[in-house]
Amino acid sequence: MKTVLIVTYMPLHKEPRVIRQIQALSNDYQIFTIGSTPSNYNNITHYSTISSFKKKYNKHIVFKIFRKLNKYLNRLKILLNINILNILFNDLGLEYMLSQNIIKPDIIIAHDLNGLYLSSELKKKHKWECKIHFDAHEYFPNQLSSSFKWKLFIRPIVLWVLKKCKNDISIMSTVCDGIAREYEKFFKYPAGSVRVITNAADYNNISKPLNLAEDKIRLIHHGGAIKERKLDLMIKMMKYLDPEKYELTFMLVKSNPKYYDYLVKLSKKYINIKFIEPVPFSEIINTLNSYDIGVYLILPEHYNHKHCLPNKLFEFIQARLAIAIGPSIEMKKMVEQYNLGIASERFTPKSLASSIKQMTPEKIMEYKMNADKYAKKLSGEENMVKIRDIVAELTRV
């Protein structure tokens, strides 16, 4: 049985993209994982380099200096926070990995820039002759953030890592067409060579879409309370919607507690906005199903926001909701192709509200029925096939 090593800095137990890869491959391959937390699969051996790294270097003088610097940079939580430390120490917790006698992998699936760098280092240190599938998720080189701090301190490291690891990449994938084509330009890859594996949710065979309530049209947005996403725009949108006809619910993880509190305070200006507690990942679809329209307005302030095709869009579909979004390129393309809802003309609260007001009850039900019609097609099942095909292809090379 061939061996696949999945490398990520994310918590495996709640990372849908990694979980789907395990599900797709576990019957035919022996799986090992590296990440900040183990998956919930008992037959998979897991290694955590982050915990060993912190234990080893927590009192090191360079670690202390960097923590002070981070504090003065407004406790900046950046993509490569842990990897900057790793690069400074030139360690990456490899001593821990070397002591564990990991079975030599045939394939490594490396997630994000962190996972790519660690995979490349492991391959070199162990002298593995394995192939690496780089699952890039988003676009790293130019516009991961509009922050000046990111551009000044992090972008040079991002470019260095990508150039350093380029020759270790056998197959690369990302979440949408726009980002895939941009990576092809960056790496000078042939057109169409970067694969697209979306963040599609698993197919959920729930009951047909619920009919509209007689009193109000129920809007919902779910996800993380992340300041950079400017969720307050959707609160301001309610200024333009009749509170007798429309109600907006937020179901947010308190990723940034201060920002979450700000959103709650801002929403008190409106009688038709409420917040509910987030539910476990497995219950999201069934919870959303009781609403009418899934809403998302995100400004195209950098490349990844401009081309975002997020989990929540696919969860709206599996929940059989109508969809109302801003004119984000990738989301708009999908919504219009399958007639799932509307995209506003501009990235403003007023523009999105105007588009929502044009959605008659009949139209909303039409969109919900189309979500039901295409739920199977737009689920993660096709992606499972793509994952298996990529790994099979790499084992034949």
Report the CATH number that the domain containing residue 315 is assigned in CATH. 3.40.50.2000
Band (pLDDT 50/70/90 cuts) for residue 393 is very high
Do 144 and 224 lie in a common domain? no
Long-range contacts of 341-348 (CB under 8 A, 24+ apart): 341/293, 341/294, 341/367, 344/297, 347/297, 347/298, 347/299, 347/300, 348/233
- pTM for this entry: 0.82
* Residue 308, pLDDT above cutoff 90: yes
Q: From start to end of 240-327, where are the E strands? A: 246-253, 273-276, 293-296, 322-325
Who contacts 185 (Cβ-Cβ below 8 Å, separation ≥6)? Answer: none
Band (pLDDT 50/70/90 cuts) for residue 24 is very high
Do 172 and 222 lie in a common domain? no
Mean of per-residue pLDDT scores for the chain: 85
* Residue 65, pLDDT above cutoff 80: no
What integer pLDDT is reported at residue 303 of this predicted model? 86
What integer pLDDT is reported at residue 94 of this predicted model? 47
pLDDT (mean) for 129-146: 84
Who contacts 277 (Cβ-Cβ below 8 Å, separation ≥6)? Answer: 251
Concatenated DSSP letters of 263-282: HHHHHTT-TTEEEE----GG
User: Which is nearest to 260 in space by CA: 280, 275, 281, 270?
Assistant: 275
Instruction: Evaluate whether residue 337 is within a structural domain.
Output: yes
- Sheet of strand 341-343: strand arrangement: 273-276, 246-253, 217-224, 293-296, 322-325, 341-343
φ and ψ at residue 281, rounded to 5 degrees:
-50, -40
Band (pLDDT 50/70/90 cuts) for residue 44 is confident
Instruction: Evaluate whether residue 266 is within a structural domain.
Output: yes
Do 188 and 258 lie in a common domain? no
* Residue 66, pLDDT above cutoff 60: no
Do 304 and 281 lie in a common domain? yes
Say which amino acid occupies 385.
V
What integer pLDDT is reported at residue 10 of this predicted model? 80
Instruction: Evaluate whether residue 354 is within a structural domain.
Output: yes
How does pLDDT run across 73-89, given as a tens digit for each residue?
Answer: 444 444 444 444 444 33
Do 113 and 240 lie in a common domain? no
In this structure, of 90-99, 225-234, 260-269, 383-392, the range with the lowest mean pLDDT score is 90-99
| Consecutive H or E run containing 3 | strand 3-7
What integer pLDDT is reported at residue 67 of this predicted model? 53
What's the Cα-to-Cα distance from 20 to each of 13, 35, 37, 259, rounded to whole Å?
Answer: 11, 15, 16, 31
Residue pair 353/302 in contact by the 8 Å Cβ criterion? no
Domain range enclosing 242: 217-374
| Consecutive H or E run containing 187 | helix 177-187
Band (pLDDT 50/70/90 cuts) for residue 72 is very low
In this structure, of 89-103, 125-139, 177-191, the range with the lowest mean pLDDT score is 89-103
Do 309 and 358 lie in a common domain? yes
Percent of the chain at pLDDT exceeding 70: 84
Q: Give the chain's end-to-end CA distance (angstroms, integer).
A: 16
* Residue 226, pLDDT above cutoff 80: yes
How does pLDDT run across 378-390, given as a tens digit for each residue?
Answer: 999 989 999 999 9
Instruction: Evaluate whether residue 209 is within a structural domain.
Output: no
Band (pLDDT 50/70/90 cuts) for residue 61 is low
| Consecutive H or E run containing 332 | helix 329-337
Do 153 and 301 lie in a common domain? no
CB atoms within 10 A of CB 270: 17
pLDDT (mean) for 328-334: 97
User: Degrees (nearest 5) of the Cα angle 24, 321, 227?
Assistant: 80
* Residue 238, pLDDT above cutoff 80: yes
φ and ψ at residue 305, rounded to 5 degrees:
-70, -35
* Residue 322, pLDDT above cutoff 70: yes
Residue pair 110/132 in contact by the 8 Å Cβ criterion? yes
What integer pLDDT is reported at residue 86 of this predicted model? 46
Percent of the chain at pLDDT exceeding 90: 61
pLDDT (mean) for 349-370: 96
User: Which is nearest to 16 in space by CA: 255, 349, 262, 284?
Assistant: 284
| Consecutive H or E run containing 356 | helix 349-357
Say which amino acid occupies 323.
I
How far apart (Å, rounded) are the C-alpha atoms in residues 279 and 253? Answer: 9
Do 263 and 285 lie in a common domain? yes
Counted domains in the chain: 2
3-state secondary structure (DSSP) of residue 307: coil
What integer pLDDT is reported at residue 84 of this predicted model? 45
The encoded tokens of residue 8 equal 């990520």
Choose from 87-91, 281-285, 335-339 the range with maximum mean pLDDT. Answer: 335-339
Band (pLDDT 50/70/90 cuts) for residue 349 is very high
User: Which is nearest to 300 in space by CA: 331, 321, 322?
Assistant: 331
HSE toward the beta carbon, residue 356, CA cutoff 13 A:
32
Who contacts 349 (Cβ-Cβ below 8 Å, separation ≥6)? Answer: 233, 234, 236, 237, 239, 240, 297
How does pLDDT run across 144-201, given as a tens digit for each residue?
Answer: 566 677 777 777 878 888 988 999 999 999 999 999 999 999 999 999 999 999 999 9
pLDDT (mean) for 208-232: 89
DSSP letter at 212 equals: P
Instruction: Evaluate whether residue 25 is within a structural domain.
Output: yes
Do 370 and 385 lie in a common domain? no
| Consecutive H or E run containing 46 | strand 45-47
Q: Which residue has the tokens 């979440």?
A: 175
Band (pLDDT 50/70/90 cuts) for residue 97 is low
Residue pair 97/62 in contact by the 8 Å Cβ criterion? no
Do 391 and 366 lie in a common domain? no
Q: Which residue has the tokens 């129920």?
A: 218
Is the alpha carbon torsion for 228, 234, 237, 243 positive or negative? negative
| Consecutive H or E run containing 19 | helix 16-25
Do 163 and 257 lie in a common domain? no
Q: Which residue has the tokens 């551009």?
A: 151
pLDDT (mean) for 355-375: 96
Band (pLDDT 50/70/90 cuts) for residue 58 is low
Do 22 and 143 lie in a common domain? yes
What integer pLDDT is reported at residue 336 of this predicted model? 97
| Consecutive H or E run containing 387 | helix 381-396
Instruction: Evaluate whether residue 135 is within a structural domain.
Output: yes
3-state secondary structure (DSSP) of residue 380: coil
Instruction: Evaluate whether residue 60 is within a structural domain.
Output: yes
What integer pLDDT is reported at residue 397 of this predicted model? 66
